[in-house]
Amino acid sequence: MISFRLARPMLVAMAACAVNCWAGNVLADEAQDNAQLREQMRIMMQQMQEMQKQIQQLKQQQQQQQQQPTAAAPPPAPAPTPPMGAAAQGPAAAKALPAEPEFEKFVKGFFGTLDVSVDYATKGMSELGAYHYSPYDPADPSYYVITGSKVGPVGRVGWQADLSTNKSVLGYRGSHSIPNSNVNFIYQIEVQPAITSAPGDATGYTQQSNIDKASIGYGDSYIGLSETDWGKLKFGTTYTPYKSSTDRMNPFSGMLGDYSAIMGNTGGDNRVEFGTRIEHSIWYESPKFGGLFSFDVLFSPGQNRTPYNEGQASGSPDCAGGNEPGSGNLPLACADGAFDNAWSFDVKLEHGPIYWTAAYEIHQSVNRSSDGIGSNSPYYNSLYSINSFVNPATGAYTTTCTTSSPLIDCADFNTFAAEYPYAAPAGSPGLNYDVVNETAFKTGLQYTFDFGLALSGIYEMMKRDVPNFMEWQNERQRNGFWFAATQDFTVQDNFSVGWAHAGRTPGDPAGQHDYDPLSLDDHANMYTAAWKHRFDKNLYWYLNVADTVNHGNAHYDLGAGGRSVTVDCHDGTTQAFIDYSSAGPTTWGGCHPLGFSTGLHYTF
């Protein structure tokens, strides 16, 4: 490389050489025309100027190189465990620096929510009592004969401390551009970590399931296609549009006072029929049209080849509806809410401080046979008789079902009994007309004031399409509403209150241990309040109190919809007692769950 410290002497030497050449020419040919001499001098001066410019450019380049830090020399010998930093690995690592943005993009795909609370709650049913009833005359549903003495709940149903993992999730999402198009391939996979308990099947003493929530894929998991102008098309498992449309109106999500204890909950227990994830689904999410309006639609094929959806859907470990075969006291049958096809829709409008939505969902051919058979209702058991005898002519053991009621399906029972006569007496005939559609509709409105107050309201209608003569056991049909208010007091602190109401139902399957056949007002109210203190945009602490007041045979709980620990209306019975009132662990109508909870909620 040329040393620019010699640039000035070189220019001087070149100028002297040019002068000598010019002088020699003059002495050799004094007769040369002066005009030619001037032309030669002009050409030489032009060449010198161009050379000086090139030297100046080279000098500037060298100065820029000298201003950059000198590259670190490579280490004398590689260490047994190579250092992870690029600077520690010498010049070779510096060449790998362009790959760093790709790694950052990969890391940004991870997301999650971690929520753990300490709860102190009571089931509020220590003072409840129950009598046993004898079967009554079907012609007079109001007539019961009380037998036996009054008994109370079994086990520890008062105040108890618990630790709960609440709607926690770990996931990864990303996208891949499809060449020569504006379409992206999108994907997401989730898992629900078990923080306060060991991972395993989601089975407890009041709920049975074959699902391991800590396994990869449990959660909102999908693949799909996305394009800015036309929206997103996804395939997988997800919360339905019906549920997600009003999520923003539930400031108690994951707490004891989560509105899912009543909203979307037809049965009043731990499952939320119209607020759950649905497997093997296809759904479309529209873009926001005009910056105001959007909609979502979901379809889930039932994938069930059994006549009445009494088996699991193809490819699913559990029954549709969220439990394993046998839930509802019917062995090896999905008869406690299993359904066929499902559709879910929502429309949303958002403008400034106003958010409005309406949503509809239908579950087709929902099997509720357990509302008759599994409930051990005295009314159900009075509608048929099962007779077993030995045929004197053939010596064969025979079991038959006889009934005069159109509600009882003795035909299918007798077909089974003809093949398995010794096993049949342990079973019960099914209910006709108990596999029908269930639907839900709701509309919600939220307004946020500029001084930090957000007001929300939802009205909901749920229906089970049974004929009139089946309404005696229809606890799945009712109206309800939700009101909530959240006030921001500071940037870090806000306070929320909420009230959920479940209206009366047309009937009840009589599954409660203290079932009251004369009750005509099975309604419930849930009241809740919470304080949140936000440390930063990712972490907040909360304190929550919630109280569910059940009337009549109602048995709504606290914490349904995603908590690992709920406060329900089941007692501690560990054996099955069939006594025309229920099977253990028994449910008690009119319970009064009350609880306090504090926890930390972190998102990333």
Residue 72 has pLDDT above 50, yes or no: no
Please give the helix or strand (H or E) that residue 351 lies within, else none. strand 342-351
Please give the helix or strand (H or E) that residue 197 lies within, else none. none
Q: What is the 3-state secondary structure (H, E, C) of 59-92?
A: HHHHHHHHHCCCCCCCCCCCCCCCCCCCHHHCHH
Tens-digit pLDDT profile for residues 95-116: 444 555 788 888 999 999 999 9
Please give the helix or strand (H or E) that residue 189 lies within, else none. strand 184-191
- How many C-beta neighbours within 10 Å does residue 190 have? 21
Long-range residue pairs from 575-580, CB within 8 A, at least 24 positions apart, any chain: 576/329, 578/376, 579/132, 579/376, 580/132, 580/133, 580/134, 580/135, 580/376, 580/377, 580/378, 580/381
Quick check: 321 and 297 in contact, CB under 8 A? no
Quick check: 119 and 566 in contact, CB under 8 A? no
Write down the pLDDT at residue 512: 73
Long-range residue pairs from 417-420, CB within 8 A, at least 24 positions apart, any chain: none
Q: Which residues contact 274 (CB under 8 A, 6 or more apart)?
A: 240, 242, 243, 264, 265, 266, 361, 440, 462
Distance CA 160, CA 528 (A): 19
**How does residue 271 score in pLDDT terms, banded at 50, 70 and 90?**
confident
What is the DSSP code string of 492-522? SEEEEEEEEEE---S-----BTT--TT----
Q: Is the bond into 135 cis (omega within 30 degrees of 0)?
A: no
pTM of the model: 0.78
**How does residue 136 score in pLDDT terms, banded at 50, 70 and 90?**
low
**How does residue 192 score in pLDDT terms, banded at 50, 70 and 90?**
very high
Write down the pLDDT at residue 18: 42
Distance CA 573, CA 580 (A): 16
Q: Which residue has the higher pLDDT, 519 or 126?
A: 126
User: What would the two tokens of residue 411 be?
Assistant: 């035909």
Q: Which residue has the higher pLDDT, 70 or 292?
A: 292
- Measured CA distances, 51 to 8, 15, 38, 46 (Å): 12, 12, 20, 9
| Spatial CA neighbour of 120 closest among 567, 591, 568, 571 | 567
For 204-226, what is the mean pLDDT?
A: 82
User: What would the two tokens of residue 132 be?
Assistant: 């046993």
Q: Which residue has the higher pLDDT, 315 or 372?
A: 315
Distance CA 529, CA 484 (A): 9
Tens-digit pLDDT profile for residues 568-589: 998 887 755 444 444 446 788 9
> How many whole angstroms from its chain centre is CA 410?
41
Q: Which of 143-157, 313-327, 401-415 has the highest mean pLDDT?
A: 401-415
Mean pLDDT of the chain: 83
Write down the pLDDT at residue 245: 98
Answer positive or negative: Cα dihedral of 518, 523, 524, 525. negative
Say what percent of the chain tops pLDDT 90: 50
Domain boundaries, the chain: 4-28+36-61, 121-131+155-372+434-603
Say what percent of the chain tops pLDDT 70: 77
Q: Which residues contact 22 (CB under 8 A, 6 or more apart)?
A: 37, 40, 41, 44
Quick check: 120 and 161 in contact, CB under 8 A? yes
Quick check: 528 and 257 in contact, CB under 8 A? yes
Q: What is the 3-state secondary structure (H, E, C) of 325-341?
A: CCCCCCCCCCCCCECCC
Tens-digit pLDDT profile for residues 14-36: 444 443 443 444 344 444 555 66
CATH of range 121-131+155-372+434-603; options 2.60.120.470, 3.20.20.140, 1.10.8.60, 2.40.160.10: 2.40.160.10
For 275-297, what is the mean pLDDT?
A: 96
Q: What's the angle, vertex CA 160, arms to CA 158 and CA 163, rounded to 5?
A: 150
| Spatial CA neighbour of 219 closest among 204, 203, 239, 199 | 239
Residue 85 has pLDDT above 50, yes or no: no
Write down the pLDDT at residue 394: 80
| Spatial CA neighbour of 333 closest among 420, 435, 205 | 435
Residue 540 half-sphere exposure, CB side, CA atoms within 13 Å?
15
Residue 165 has pLDDT above 60, yes or no: yes
348 DSSP β-pair partners: 294, 357
Helix (H, G, I), strand (E, B) or coil at 53: helix
In the block, residue with structure tokens 């008759």: 372
Q: Which residue has the higher pLDDT, 134 or 32?
A: 134
Residue 65 has pLDDT above 90, yes or no: no
- Measured CA distances, 214 to 113, 193, 199, 562, 564 (Å): 14, 5, 6, 13, 12
What is the DSSP code string of 85-117? STGGG-HHHHTTGGGHHHHHHHHTTEEEEEEEE
User: What would the two tokens of residue 469 be?
Assistant: 């003569």
Residue 1 half-sphere exposure, CB side, CA atoms within 13 Å?
8
Tens-digit pLDDT profile for residues 442-456: 999 999 999 999 999
For 157-179, what is the mean pLDDT?
A: 96
For 275-283, what is the mean pLDDT?
A: 95
Tens-digit pLDDT profile for residues 487-506: 999 999 999 999 999 999 99
Quick check: 465 and 437 in contact, CB under 8 A? yes
Residue 358 has pLDDT above 90, yes or no: yes
Q: Which residue has the higher pLDDT, 258 or 31?
A: 258
